[in-house]
Amino acid sequence: MGRFHRHADGRVEHHDHDHEHDHGTDARDVGDHSGYESGDLRVDVLEKILGENERTAEANRHDFAAAGVAVVNVMSSPGAGKTTLLCEVFDRLTPDLRIGVIEGDIETAIDADRLAATGVPVALVNTANGFGGECHLDATMVRSALDRLALDDLDLVVIENVGNLVCPAEFDVGESARLMVYSITEGEEKPLKYPVMFRSADVVAINKTDLLPHLDFDLAAFESNLHDVNPGAARLHTSARTGQGVDAVSDWFRAVVATRATPDPTG
Amino acid sequence: MHELSICTAIAAIVGEHAEGRPVDLVRLDVGALRQVVPDTLTYSWGVTVEGTPLAGSVLEVREIPAVLRCSTCGADTTITVPVFRCPCGSTATEVVSGEELLVTSLELAAA
């Protein structure tokens, strides 16, 4: 009965252990003092709410490592330009890297079709099953797509998450790195309003820079806000339209691939 | 609306620990750095557990403040805006609390 008092998280020192029950050596207490045998109504739990997602993400990570594949989770608000930027990046990477895509969308195969047109295999996950339609990919959804990609034959899996600045950041899916695509049409204050997403990114592509002359966007203010929230994030200025920065994003993907695990033939 | 996903995960944890016994109250710790809105969470809980054995149970959310520990001067600072910088000016900080998302305990219904 080890699930009781699973202290999986180091930060649970606030625990109120204020109920009365016997912590003696009675055999029934060993490994399970859940506290209800004597009519006590309190049951201590102390479990991470997203623990099941974390366990599935670890299983994904294990499978990716065994296949020797690097995995990048790409996140942004809707319309920031993830798909267009990825199409440009894939044109530069596919001559020498074997890429597969897991495409998350609430509905439609539109983005999946655009990416497939670059010649890469795409596993689409529409999240609109269940009620409401999920606003993010979780580790289980990503796992459900893995048997549709030949991981052993790939160097890089790109997960294009559902366009959303809040929810995807909360769900580890087993990735090696996170790329966030931010478009300058979204406003300078976004890192302060959506800190979880901006904090979770390893690199932020500041996209649609071709629009700078047409907007009142204050790039320095944005970069200062980003630095407040995530001092360690790398920043790349990009425009899928003019090609600015696309080589730099492609080089970042190559660097992530270079750090991947060596395939384990027994895995 | 990932609060619905979170409520589904909470219900699974509660169900496992309650083992069929009726539950009055579910206590959570939610860190200030999780983008989880307590009011949305308690509303979503009602929707999630409607028509299940957990119907009628209530979530009690304890909000945990975000605290940074500075790697340069060692001070702990509670932050209320997402600026991850110590008052000493250093951005070399570590989050020591505020990222919790835990079911801490249950209160069973009296027999």
Instruction: Give the neighbor-by-neighbor strand order of the sheet with A234-237.
Output: A122-126, A99-105, A156-160, A70-76, A177-183, A203-207, A234-237
Asked if pLDDT for residue A12 goes beyond 50, the answer is: no
pLDDT single digits (tens) A39-56: 579 999 999 999 999 999
Closest of A71, A80, A128 to residue A102, by C-alpha: A71
Phi/psi for A11 (5° steps) reads -105, 50
Query: Does B61 lie at the interface with A, CB-CB under 8 angstroms?
Result: no
Asked if pLDDT for residue A23 goes beyond 60, the answer is: no
Reduced to 3 states (helix: H, G, I; strand: E, B; else coil), residue B21 is coil
User: Measured at the alpha carbon of residue B102, what is the angle toward residues B106 and A6, in degrees to the nearest 5?
Assistant: 80
The pLDDT, as a whole number, for residue A216 is: 96
Please give the tally of structural domains in chain B: 1
Size of interface A-B (CB pairs under 8 A): 115
| Stretch A86-91: mean pLDDT | 97
Domain boundaries, position B92: 2-108
Q: Are B108 and A42 a contacting pair at CB < 8 A?
A: yes
Helix (H) / strand (E) element for B83: namely none
Q: Which of A4, A192, A228 sits opposite B85 (nearest CB)?
A: A228
Query: Does B37 lie at the interface with A, CB-CB under 8 angstroms?
Result: no
Q: Say if residue A260 is exposed, middle or buried (CB neighbours under 10 Å; 0-12, 13-18, 19+).
A: middle
Asked if pLDDT for residue A98 goes beyond 70, the answer is: yes
Q: Are B105 and A227 a contacting pair at CB < 8 A?
A: no
Chain A residue with minimum CA distance to B105:
A44
Q: State the residue for tokens 């009602």.
A: B46
Q: Terminal CA-to-CA distance of chain A, rounded, Å?
A: 31
Distance from CA of A242 to the nearest CA of B (A): 33
Query: Does B75 lie at the interface with A, CB-CB under 8 angstroms?
Result: no
Phi/psi for A30 (5° steps) reads -70, 120
Tokens linked to A235: 């920043």
Q: Are A9 and B6 a contacting pair at CB < 8 A?
A: no
- Tell me the average confidence (pLDDT) per consecutive run of 10 residues in chain B, 111 residues long: 88 96 96 90 94 96 97 97 95 96 96 70
The reply to whether CATH 3.40.50.300 applies to domain A51-258 is yes
The pLDDT, as a whole number, for residue A107 is: 82
| Stretch A109-120: mean pLDDT | 94
Asked if pLDDT for residue A134 goes beyond 90, the answer is: no
Evaluate whether A178 touches A151 at the Cβ level (below 8 Å): no
Amino acid at A185: T
pLDDT single digits (tens) A180-192: 999 999 999 999 9
Amino acid at A143: R
- Total-model pTM: 0.85
Evaluate whether A144 touches B15 at the Cβ level (below 8 Å): no
Query: Does A221 lie at the interface with B, CB-CB under 8 angstroms?
Result: no
Distance from CA of A75 to the nearest CA of B (A): 15
CATH code for position B87: 3.30.2320.80
Q: Are B9 and A9 a contacting pair at CB < 8 A?
A: no
Q: State the residue for tokens 């907007």.
A: A215
Q: Are A41 and B103 a contacting pair at CB < 8 A?
A: no
Q: Residues of CATH 3.40.50.300 domain(s) within chain A? A: 51-258
| Stretch A242-251: mean pLDDT | 98
Q: Which residues touch A30 (CB under 8 Å, ≥6 apart)?
A: none
Amino acid at B80: T
Evaluate whether A238 touches A245 at the Cβ level (below 8 Å): yes
Asked if pLDDT for residue A244 goes beyond 80, the answer is: yes
Distance from CA of B74 to the nearest CA of A (A): 18
